[in-house]
Amino acid sequence: MVRSIRKLLQQWKNEGAIKFVAFSSMGERAFCAGGDIHALATQPGFAEVFFREEYHMNFEIATYPKPVVSLLKGIVMGGGVGISVHGTYRIVTEKTVFAMPETGIGLFPDVGGTHFLPNVCPGAVGMFLALTGTRLKGGDIVAAGIGTHLVPVASLAQLQHALTHQRQPAAACNLQDIISLFSASSKSNASESANPKPSATLPLQTQRPLIDKCFSLHTVPAIVRALQNCAKGEEEAEQRWAEGVLATLNKKSPTSVQLTFEALRRNGKIPLPAALNIEYRLGVRIVNRGKAGDFYEGVRATVIDKKSTPHWNLPPSTAEVEDYFAPFPKDFHVAELDL
């Protein structure tokens, strides 16, 4: 699929009749829930090829000269995030579910996620989502900066028709107007179920002060201590939230949590090509640890054996973390990305 998408994008880039590119899914259940993690975990050499081609596709979308629209129906995770988040318009519905749950399988939020999350999400929301893999729905996806428009699911087919069946193909200048006509923020098209009052029904907004308080800190241990302090606080709602987040973090790969924290901290400050190159180093090294690494263990527990408990490695030392981020040596079996 990655190769097919890149081929079409390159083909359409200079075709004057094509004014924009839109991604949608065949079914309602998922836009795209990720790539073949089983193959990544079990086929030697697959990661080097797959990650290289996938990250090139992500960069192609991010730098595409024409608007890119994604109609995000159902579940959006893994590779589906990489296809959509780098585009111009990311349209979600009240039934869209977004997450980057990679720390739960011994990986990290890749496909440019370590660059996108700290730059687009407000406050410390990006770090919170990356470390915990928390799922967002509907309006929360827009509140997090990941979605650009909330369109009622009942209006999505009409929007798609409006975008693609015009006397004149939609130009970049009026795409925004067309999408806004169907957005839940438009009073003429909003239904109460798809356009709730943000102050009452968007949990991400109510959690923001706690998220920023805990996840803006400068080390993973400091984040954990802040959550522990919140769990001992006097406010019952704050206690429940902190206890839930701690329980979630305790299920994640300690190596993945540490590498993800460092990747967001570093990659949020550099251009996307450099961030994708760092992600390539991380991905190749994580997968190449084979059965000794947390990625294989995470896939074994969740995909191969299913519903078993992963047995994670101990957290990496500072030196071990640096080794994951270091440039490939000259005699390494694969070259760095050439973006």
pLDDT given for residue 170 in this prediction: 53
Six token digits for residue 297? 């263990």
Contacts of 211 (CB under 8 A, 6+ apart): 123, 124, 125, 128
- Partners of residue 76 on adjacent β-strands: 32, 98
Give, for 126, the enclosing helix (H) or strand (E): helix 125-132
Residue 336 DSSP code = P
DSSP assignment of 156-214 equals HHHHHHHHH--SSPPPHHHHHHHHHHHSTTSTTT--TTTS--HHHH-HHHHHHHHHHHH
At 123-158, the pLDDT tens digits run 999 999 999 999 999 999 999 999 999 999 999 999
Q: Mind telling me the catalytic residues? A: 35, 79, 102, 110
Asked whether the beta carbons of 77 and 165 are under 8 A apart, the reply is: no
From first to last of its 339 residues, the chain has per-residue pLDDT tens of: 899 999 999 999 999 989 999 999 887 788 876 668 999 999 999 999 999 999 999 999 999 999 999 999 999 998 999 999 999 999 999 999 999 999 999 999 999 999 999 999 999 999 999 999 999 999 999 999 999 999 999 999 999 999 988 655 555 558 999 999 999 754 333 333 444 333 333 478 889 999 999 999 999 999 999 999 999 998 898 999 999 999 999 999 999 999 999 999 999 999 999 999 999 999 999 999 999 999 999 999 998 998 789 999 999 999 999 999 999 999 999 999 999
pLDDT given for residue 168 in this prediction: 57
Q: What is the dihedral of CA 232, 237, 241, 247, to 10 degrees?
A: 60
Closest CA relative to residue 224, chosen from 124, 328, 131, 296: 131
Q: Judging by beta carbons within 10 Å of its beta carbon (0-12, 13-18, 19+), is residue 206 exposed, middle or buried?
A: middle
Residue given tokens 């996840």 in the structure block: 215
Residues 160, 164, 165: CA angle, nearest 5 degrees: 110
Global pTM value: 0.92
At 107-123, the pLDDT tens digits run 999 999 999 999 999 99
